[in-house]
A = this chain, B = another copy of it.
Protein backbone atom coordinates (compact mmCIF):
# COMPACT_ATOMS: atom_id res chain seq x y z
CA UNK A 1 0.00 0.00 0.00
CA UNK A 2 2.82 2.44 0.82
CA UNK A 3 4.47 2.28 -2.60
CA UNK A 4 1.10 2.60 -4.26
CA UNK A 5 0.20 5.74 -2.29
CA UNK A 6 3.61 7.26 -2.95
CA UNK A 7 3.14 6.69 -6.68
CA UNK A 8 -0.22 8.54 -6.51
CA UNK A 9 1.39 11.45 -4.66
CA UNK A 10 4.21 11.72 -7.20
CA UNK A 11 1.68 11.72 -10.03
CA UNK A 12 -0.30 14.41 -8.19
CA UNK A 13 2.85 16.47 -7.82
CA UNK A 14 3.51 16.22 -11.55
CA UNK A 15 0.01 17.53 -12.25
CA UNK A 16 0.69 20.53 -10.04
CA UNK A 17 4.07 21.25 -11.66
CA UNK A 18 2.57 21.01 -15.15
CA UNK A 19 -0.30 23.32 -14.20
CA UNK A 20 2.09 26.06 -13.08
CA UNK A 21 2.30 27.38 -16.61
CA UNK A 22 -1.46 27.74 -16.80
CA UNK A 23 -3.78 30.28 -15.24
CA UNK A 24 -5.29 29.03 -11.96
CA UNK A 25 -9.04 29.29 -11.50
CA UNK A 26 -9.52 30.66 -8.00
CA UNK A 27 -12.76 30.83 -6.02
CA UNK A 28 -13.41 32.23 -2.57
CA UNK A 29 -15.05 29.86 -0.08
CA UNK A 30 -16.10 31.38 3.28
CA UNK A 31 -14.15 34.67 2.79
CA UNK A 32 -11.43 36.37 0.69
CA UNK A 33 -8.68 34.54 2.62
CA UNK A 34 -10.27 31.08 2.21
CA UNK A 35 -9.56 30.01 -1.36
CA UNK A 36 -10.06 26.96 -3.50
CA UNK A 37 -8.54 26.48 -6.95
CA UNK A 38 -9.20 24.15 -9.84
CA UNK A 39 -6.02 22.31 -8.76
CA UNK A 40 -7.41 21.56 -5.27
CA UNK A 41 -10.41 19.99 -7.01
CA UNK A 42 -8.38 18.15 -9.66
CA UNK A 43 -5.89 16.68 -7.19
CA UNK A 44 -8.68 15.56 -4.88
CA UNK A 45 -10.60 13.94 -7.75
CA UNK A 46 -7.43 12.23 -8.96
CA UNK A 47 -6.61 10.79 -5.52
CA UNK A 48 -10.21 9.70 -4.92
CA UNK A 49 -10.27 7.91 -8.26
CA UNK A 50 -7.05 6.06 -7.38
CA UNK A 51 -8.38 5.09 -3.95
CA UNK A 52 -11.76 3.98 -5.34
CA UNK A 53 -10.20 1.70 -7.90
CA UNK A 54 -7.61 0.18 -5.53
CA UNK A 55 -9.79 0.07 -2.38
CA UNK A 56 -13.46 0.16 -3.51
CA UNK A 57 -14.73 -0.55 0.00
CA UNK A 58 -12.80 2.31 1.64
CA UNK A 59 -14.51 5.51 2.81
CA UNK A 60 -13.13 8.94 2.03
CA UNK A 61 -12.97 12.16 4.05
CA UNK A 62 -11.58 15.08 2.05
CA UNK A 63 -11.56 18.86 1.98
CA UNK A 64 -13.48 19.72 -1.17
CA UNK A 65 -16.99 19.12 -2.46
CA UNK A 66 -19.16 16.48 -0.89
CA UNK A 67 -16.45 14.52 0.92
CA UNK A 68 -16.01 16.81 3.90
CA UNK A 69 -17.92 14.83 6.52
CA UNK A 70 -18.20 11.19 7.56
CA UNK A 71 -20.60 9.92 10.23
CA UNK A 72 -17.87 7.71 11.71
CA UNK A 73 -14.38 6.37 11.03
CA UNK A 74 -15.25 2.67 11.08
CA UNK A 75 -13.55 0.45 8.52
CA UNK A 76 -10.93 1.66 6.06
CA UNK A 77 -10.84 5.44 5.72
CA UNK A 78 -8.61 7.63 3.56
CA UNK A 79 -8.37 11.27 4.62
CA UNK A 80 -7.16 13.75 1.99
CA UNK A 81 -6.11 17.37 1.84
CA UNK A 82 -5.35 17.81 -1.86
CA UNK A 83 -3.59 21.16 -1.34
CA UNK A 84 -2.94 22.25 2.22
CA UNK A 85 -1.99 25.93 2.32
CA UNK A 86 -4.02 26.95 -0.73
CA UNK A 87 -3.35 30.64 -0.06
CA UNK A 88 0.42 30.01 -0.19
CA UNK A 89 -0.09 27.90 -3.32
CA UNK A 90 -1.92 30.78 -5.03
CA UNK A 91 0.27 33.66 -3.84
CA UNK A 92 3.70 32.10 -3.41
CA UNK A 93 3.62 29.03 -5.63
CA UNK A 94 5.36 27.20 -2.76
CA UNK A 95 4.99 26.39 0.94
CA UNK A 96 1.98 24.12 0.43
CA UNK A 97 1.63 20.35 0.62
CA UNK A 98 -0.51 17.37 -0.26
CA UNK A 99 -1.64 15.30 2.72
CA UNK A 100 -3.06 11.81 2.80
CA UNK A 101 -3.77 9.54 5.76
CA UNK A 102 -4.99 5.98 6.04
CA UNK A 103 -7.02 4.99 9.11
CA UNK A 104 -8.57 1.67 10.16
CA UNK A 105 -11.50 1.83 12.58
CA UNK A 106 -10.39 5.28 13.69
CA UNK A 107 -6.76 4.29 14.29
CA UNK A 108 -4.14 6.04 12.13
CA UNK A 109 -2.03 3.55 10.18
CA UNK A 110 -0.17 5.61 7.57
CA UNK A 111 0.46 9.33 7.11
CA UNK A 112 1.92 11.24 4.15
CA UNK A 113 2.78 14.95 4.01
CA UNK A 114 4.28 15.97 0.68
CA UNK A 115 6.03 19.35 0.48
CA UNK A 116 5.60 19.46 -3.27
CA UNK A 117 7.94 22.27 -4.33
CA UNK A 118 10.82 21.08 -2.13
CA UNK A 119 10.11 17.51 -3.24
CA UNK A 120 10.18 16.33 0.37
CA UNK A 121 7.78 13.55 1.29
CA UNK A 122 7.37 12.92 5.02
CA UNK A 123 5.65 9.60 5.56
CA UNK A 124 5.42 6.66 7.92
CA UNK A 125 3.34 4.92 10.53
CA UNK A 126 3.53 2.77 13.62
CA UNK A 127 6.21 0.04 13.44
CA UNK A 128 7.58 1.80 10.32
CA UNK A 129 9.00 5.05 11.67
CA UNK A 130 8.94 8.47 10.01
CA UNK A 131 10.85 9.05 6.81
CA UNK A 132 11.79 12.13 4.81
CA UNK A 133 11.93 10.61 1.32
CA UNK A 134 14.11 7.54 2.04
CA UNK A 135 15.90 8.88 5.11
CA UNK A 136 14.60 7.80 8.53
CA UNK A 137 14.11 10.74 10.88
CA UNK A 138 15.54 10.56 14.40
CA UNK A 139 13.28 10.91 17.44
CA UNK A 140 12.97 14.65 18.25
CA UNK A 141 13.95 15.70 21.79
CA UNK A 142 11.16 16.10 24.34
CA UNK A 143 11.90 19.81 24.86
CA UNK A 144 9.82 21.94 27.24
CA UNK A 145 7.87 24.98 26.00
CA UNK A 146 10.48 27.46 27.19
CA UNK A 147 13.22 25.80 25.14
CA UNK A 148 11.45 25.61 21.80
CA UNK A 149 9.72 27.41 18.96
CA UNK A 150 5.96 27.11 18.69
CA UNK A 151 3.77 27.65 15.63
CA UNK A 152 0.50 29.46 16.36
CA UNK A 153 -2.41 30.26 14.09
CA UNK A 154 -2.28 33.99 13.33
CA UNK A 155 -5.92 34.65 14.30
CA UNK A 156 -5.53 33.00 17.71
CA UNK A 157 -2.21 34.76 18.35
CA UNK A 158 -3.33 38.14 17.02
CA UNK A 159 -6.51 38.10 19.13
CA UNK A 160 -4.80 36.53 22.15
CA UNK A 161 -7.52 33.91 22.46
CA UNK A 162 -7.34 31.47 25.38
CA UNK A 163 -4.16 33.01 26.86
CA UNK A 164 -2.23 31.99 23.76
CA UNK A 165 -0.17 35.12 23.82
CA UNK A 166 1.39 34.12 27.15
CA UNK A 167 2.16 30.68 25.70
CA UNK A 168 3.98 32.31 22.80
CA UNK A 169 5.93 34.52 25.21
CA UNK A 170 6.97 31.54 27.33
CA UNK A 171 8.33 29.74 24.27
CA UNK A 172 11.56 31.02 22.70
CA UNK A 173 9.70 32.20 19.63
CA UNK A 174 6.48 32.12 17.62
CA UNK A 175 6.37 31.10 13.97
CA UNK A 176 3.59 30.97 11.38
CA UNK A 177 3.85 29.82 7.79
CA UNK A 178 0.21 29.41 6.72
CA UNK A 179 0.30 25.67 6.09
CA UNK A 180 -0.65 23.07 8.74
CA UNK A 181 1.33 20.33 7.00
CA UNK A 182 4.52 22.37 7.08
CA UNK A 183 4.00 23.23 10.76
CA UNK A 184 3.64 19.51 11.52
CA UNK A 185 6.75 18.73 9.46
CA UNK A 186 8.60 21.31 11.61
CA UNK A 187 7.61 19.27 14.69
CA UNK A 188 8.68 15.97 13.09
CA UNK A 189 12.10 17.47 12.32
CA UNK A 190 12.43 18.77 15.89
CA UNK A 191 12.42 22.38 14.60
CA UNK A 192 9.31 23.30 16.61
CA UNK A 193 8.04 21.91 19.92
CA UNK A 194 4.37 22.58 19.25
CA UNK A 195 1.55 23.77 17.04
CA UNK A 196 -1.63 25.52 18.18
CA UNK A 197 -4.36 26.14 15.65
CA UNK A 198 -7.94 25.66 14.50
CA UNK A 199 -8.07 22.81 12.02
CA UNK A 200 -10.21 20.44 10.00
CA UNK A 201 -9.63 16.65 10.04
CA UNK A 202 -7.69 16.62 6.73
CA UNK A 203 -5.30 19.21 8.23
CA UNK A 204 -4.23 16.95 11.10
CA UNK A 205 -5.05 13.33 10.10
CA UNK A 206 -1.73 12.55 8.37
CA UNK A 207 0.36 14.57 10.81
CA UNK A 208 -1.14 12.84 13.83
CA UNK A 209 -0.12 9.41 12.51
CA UNK A 210 3.47 10.63 12.23
CA UNK A 211 3.41 12.42 15.62
CA UNK A 212 2.23 9.12 17.15
CA UNK A 213 5.41 7.41 15.98
CA UNK A 214 7.45 9.84 18.07
CA UNK A 215 5.12 9.77 21.07
CA UNK A 216 4.11 13.41 20.57
CA UNK A 217 0.76 14.42 22.06
CA UNK A 218 -2.24 16.08 20.41
CA UNK A 219 -5.83 16.89 21.34
CA UNK A 220 -8.43 19.62 21.50
CA UNK A 221 -7.85 22.52 23.90
CA UNK A 222 -9.44 20.69 26.87
CA UNK A 223 -7.29 17.65 26.32
CA UNK A 224 -10.30 15.96 24.70
CA UNK A 225 -9.78 13.67 21.69
CA UNK A 226 -10.16 15.24 18.26
CA UNK A 227 -13.58 14.59 16.74
CA UNK A 228 -12.75 14.44 13.00
CA UNK A 229 -15.92 16.50 12.40
CA UNK A 230 -15.62 20.08 11.18
CA UNK A 231 -13.08 22.63 12.39
CA UNK A 232 -11.86 22.32 15.94
CA UNK A 233 -9.14 23.74 18.14
CA UNK A 234 -5.96 21.73 17.85
CA UNK A 235 -2.89 21.45 20.05
CA UNK A 236 0.10 19.24 19.27
CA UNK A 237 3.37 19.29 21.20
CA UNK A 238 6.20 17.32 22.69
CA UNK A 239 4.94 15.45 25.78
CA UNK A 240 6.51 17.96 28.18
CA UNK A 241 5.41 21.08 26.30
CA UNK A 242 1.93 19.61 25.80
CA UNK A 243 1.31 19.45 29.55
CA UNK A 244 2.46 23.04 30.05
CA UNK A 245 0.43 24.43 27.15
CA UNK A 246 -2.71 22.53 28.14
CA UNK A 247 -2.42 23.96 31.64
CA UNK A 248 -1.89 27.51 30.34
CA UNK A 249 -4.75 27.43 27.81
CA UNK A 250 -7.74 29.25 29.28
CA UNK A 251 -10.44 27.27 27.54
CA UNK A 252 -14.00 26.98 28.91
Residue numbers of A with Cβ under 8 A of B are 32-33, 87-88, 91-92, 94-95, 146, 148-149, 154, 157-158, 160, 165, 168-169, 172-178, 186, 189, 191
Min distance, Cβ A46 to any Cβ of chain B, angstroms: 27
Min distance, Cβ A188 to any Cβ of chain B, angstroms: 12
Residues of B within 8 A of A174 (CB): 154, 158, 176
Interface of A is mostly: mixed
Residues of B within 8 A of A165 (CB): 158
Distance between Cα atoms of A175 and B91 in the complex (Å): 13
In the complex this chain forms, how many copies of it are found?
Answer: 2
**Residue contact B172 to A175, C-beta cutoff 8 Å:** no
**Residue contact B191 to A94, C-beta cutoff 8 Å:** yes
Distance between Cα atoms of A158 and B169 in the complex (Å): 9
**Residue contact B191 to A149, C-beta cutoff 8 Å:** no
Which A-B residue pairs are the 3 nearest by beta carbons? A92-B191, A154-B174, A33-B172
Distance between Cα atoms of A172 and B172 in the complex (Å): 26
Closest-by-CB residue of B relative to A191 is B92
Which of A91, A92, A94 neighbours the largest number of chain B CB atoms within 10 Å of its CB?
A91
Distance between Cα atoms of A157 and B173 in the complex (Å): 13
Pick the contact of A158: B91, B157, B175, B189 (CB < 8 A): B157
Pick the contact of A176: B160, B169, B176, B191 (CB < 8 A): B176
Min distance, Cβ A65 to any Cβ of chain B, angstroms: 23
Residues of B within 8 A of A172 (CB): 32-33, 87, 91
